[in-house]
C-alpha cells in the first residue's frame, strides 16, 4: 500500500504545483500510516521531491511522452498505481491533470474528487472537502471505492516541507500510441501562467480599450504576475480569450489578485474568489468588488496604476 502522487513537469523541470501535490500526498500518507511514491515523467530535478516528504520517485524518461496525451499519460499513471499498490492517487488541478484524472478514474475503477482544498477529514470513510458552486460553497464528499483519486485545488494546501531522502527508481511502463495527436502548441514560454502565478493582475472594461493595457502589463512585470481580464474585455477582443477569468473562464487561485476597472459581478467573483488576497482599484466606491476585496483604492486607474508601478519598483529595489 502507498500513496502515489503524479508530479507534473514542464520542459524537464517539475512545476511548482508538483511540490504542492507532493506535500498533500505526504499528509494523506501520514494519516494512512504509509509512504509516498511520486511519478515523474521526463523531469530532471526529482531529488527536490524529498524535501516535501516523498520517499520514492518513479522516474519515466521516454521521448514518446514529450507531448502530452491524456490517455497515454493516464495509462502510465495507472501502471505506476498498480505497481505501487496505491490506495490513493493524488493529482493537481492543472489543465492536463484535470484532463487525465477522469480517464484514470475509469481505468482504476476509482472514485475521483476534484478541487479538493484540505487534507482528508477522515480516512474511513474517506472524506474530503472540495470547492463547489464555483467557489460559492464547499462540498464535503465521501469517496466509496477502494482506490481513490484526489485532485488538489491549486494553491489551496500550499507547500509543506518535510525532509525525507527520496530514492529514485527507473520505471518503464508500456506506452501505447496516441490517437489524439498534438499538431501545434501555442504557448508563451517566457510568461507565468494564470494557473501557476502567485500574483495575477487583471483588467476590466474600466480600462476603456486595448491600447491602455501597457500599464497592466508593466504592473504585472514588476510583480512577476500573470495578466488576466474580465469576460467583456475578451469578448470585445481587447485581450485574448486565454486571459478571461471567472465562472465561465479560467479559475484563479493566486496569493494576490489585483482587479483594476472590474466591477465585481457575481460571475467574475465566483471564479477569482479562491485567491487569498484581493485588491481592487475602481473609481466607483459602490462597485460590488469592494465587498469581496481585502484592500481597495477608490480612484482612477489611469492615475493610480502608474503611481503604483513607480512605488513598487522602488519597493522592489529596496528588497
Ligand X SMILES: Cc1cc2nc3c(=O)[nH]c(=O)nc-3n(C[C@H](O)[C@H](O)[C@H](O)COP(=O)(O)OP(=O)(O)OC[C@H]3O[C@@H](n4cnc5c(N)ncnc54)[C@H](O)[C@@H]3O)c2cc1C
Phi first, then psi, for residue 316 (nearest 5°) are -65, -35
- Could you say which of 32, 65, 132, 160 contacts another protein (CB under 8 A)? 132
Best CA proximity match to 230, nearest among 221, 218, 216, 222:
216
Q: Name which of 48 and 243 has its Cβ closer to another protein.
A: 243
Q: Is 313 in the site for another protein (CB under 8 A)?
A: no
C-alpha 194/C-alpha 271 separation (Å) is 12
219/224 Cα distance (integer angstroms)? 9
Site for ligand X contains 99 (CB under 6 A)? no
| DSSP 8-state symbol, 247 | T
Candidate residues 4, 244, 245, 263; the one interacting with another protein per rule CB under 8 A: 244
Find the binding residues for another protein in span 270-299 (CB under 8 A).
Answer: 270, 273, 276-277, 279-280, 290-299
Closest CA to 111 of 122, 121, 125: 125
C-beta of 166 vs 281, nearer to another protein:
281
CB of 297 to another protein, least distance (A): 5
Q: ∠146-149-151 over CA atoms, to 5°?
A: 160
Name the residue nearer to ligand X (CB basis): 59 or 273. Answer: 273
Q: Which of 89, 90, 101, 156 binds another protein (CB under 8 A)?
A: 101
221: which residues sit within 8 A by CB, 6+ positions away? none
Q: Identify which of residues 207 and 279 has a Cβ nearer to another protein in the complex.
A: 279
Considering the rule CB under 8 A, would residue 308 count as an interface residue with another protein? yes
Number of residues that bind another protein (CB under 8 A): 92
- Which of 55, 52, 54, 56 has the alpha carbon at shortest distance from 162? 52
- Minimal distance in Å, beta carbon 64 to ligand X? 37
CA distance 266 to 100: 30
Nearest to 41 by CA among 86, 3, 93, 97: 97
Binding residues for FAD: 205, 261-268, 282
Tell me if 134 contacts another protein by CB under 8 A.
Answer: yes
* Options 78, 129, 231, 278; binder of ligand X; rule CB under 6 A: 231
**CB-hemisphere CA count at 13 Å for 53?**
24
Nearer to another protein, 36 or 207 (CB): 207
Q: Establish if 142 lies at the interface with another protein (CB under 8 A).
A: yes
- Residue 79, number of CB atoms within 10 A of its CB: 19
* Strand 36-41 to 277-282 pairing: unpaired
Query: Residues near 210 by Cβ (< 8 Å), separated by ≥ 6?
Result: 237, 238, 239
Does 18 sit near another protein (CB under 8 A)?
no
311 binds another protein (CB under 8 A): yes
Q: State yes or no: residue 11 binds another protein (CB under 8 A).
A: no
Name which position in 246, 252, 257, 296 contacts ligand X (CB under 6 A).
246
With respect to another protein, which residue has the nearer C-beta, 32 or 304? Answer: 304
Q: Which residues pair with 2 in a beta bridge?
A: 86
Nearest to 201 by CA among 252, 273, 264: 252
Give which of another protein, ligand X, none residue 256 binds (C-beta under 5 to 8 Å, depending on kind). another protein
Peptide bond into 220 cis (omega under 30): no
Among 7, 37, 46, 141, binds another protein (CB under 8 A): 141
For ligand X, the binding residues (CB under 6 A) are 204-206, 230-233, 246-249, 261-263, 265, 267-268, 271, 281-284, 287, 300-302
Amino acid at each position: 500500500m502507498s500513496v502515489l502522487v503524479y508530479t507534473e513537469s514542464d520542459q524537464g523541470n517539475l512545476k511548482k504545483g508538483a511540490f504542492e501535490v507532493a506535500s498533500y500526498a505526504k499528509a494523506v500518507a501520514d494519516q494512512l500510516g504509509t509512504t509516498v511514491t511520486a511519478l515523474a515523467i521526463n523531469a530532471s530535478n526529482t531529488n527536490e521531491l524529498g524535501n516535501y516528504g516523498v520517499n520514492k520517485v518513479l522516474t519515466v524518461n521516454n521521448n514518446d511522452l514529450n507531448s502530452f496525451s491524456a490517455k497515454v499519460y493516464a495509462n502510465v499513471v495507472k501502471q505506476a498505481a498498480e505497481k505501487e499498490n496505491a490506495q490513493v492517487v493524488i493529482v493537481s488541478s492543472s489543465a492536463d491533470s484535470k484532463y487525465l484524472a477522469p480517464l484514470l478514474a475509469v481505468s482504476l475503477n476509482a472514485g475521483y474528487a476534484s478541487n479538493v482544498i484540505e487534507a482528508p477529514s477522515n480516512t474511513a470513510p474517506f472524506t474530503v472537502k472540495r470547492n463547489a458552486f464555483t467557489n460559492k460553497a464547499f462540498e464535503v464528499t465521501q469517496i466509496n471505492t477502494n482506490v481513490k483519486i484526489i485532485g488538489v485545488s491549486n494553491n489551496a494546501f500550499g507547500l509543506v516541507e518535510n525532509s525525507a531522502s527520496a530514492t529514485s527508481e527507473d520505471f518503464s511502463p508500456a506506452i501505447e500510441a496516441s490517437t489524439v495527436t498534438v499538431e501545434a502548441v501555442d504557448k508563451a514560454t517566457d510568461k507565468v501562467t494564470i494557473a501557476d502565478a502567485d500574483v495575477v493582475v487583471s483588467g476590466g472594461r474600466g480600462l476603456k480599450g486595448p491600447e491602455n493595457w501597457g500599464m497592466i502589463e508593466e504592473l504585472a512585470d514588476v510583480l512577476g504576475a500573470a495578466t488576466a481580464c474580465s469576460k467583456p474585455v475578451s469578448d470585445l477582443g481587447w485581450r485574448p480569450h486565454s486571459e478571461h477569468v471567472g465562472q465561465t473562464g479560467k479559475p484563479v487561485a493566486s496569493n494576490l489578485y489585483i482587479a483594476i476597472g472590474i466591477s465585481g459581478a457575481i460571475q467574475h467573483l465566483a471564479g477569482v474568489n479562491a485567491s487569498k488576497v484581493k485588491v481592487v482599484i475602481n473609481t466607483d466606491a459602490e462597485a460590488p468588488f469592494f465587498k469581496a476585496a481585502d484592500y481597495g483604492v477608490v480612484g482612477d486607474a489611469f492615475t493610480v496604476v502608474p503611481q503604483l508601478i513607480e512605488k513598487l519598483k522602488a519597493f522592489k529595489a529596496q528588497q
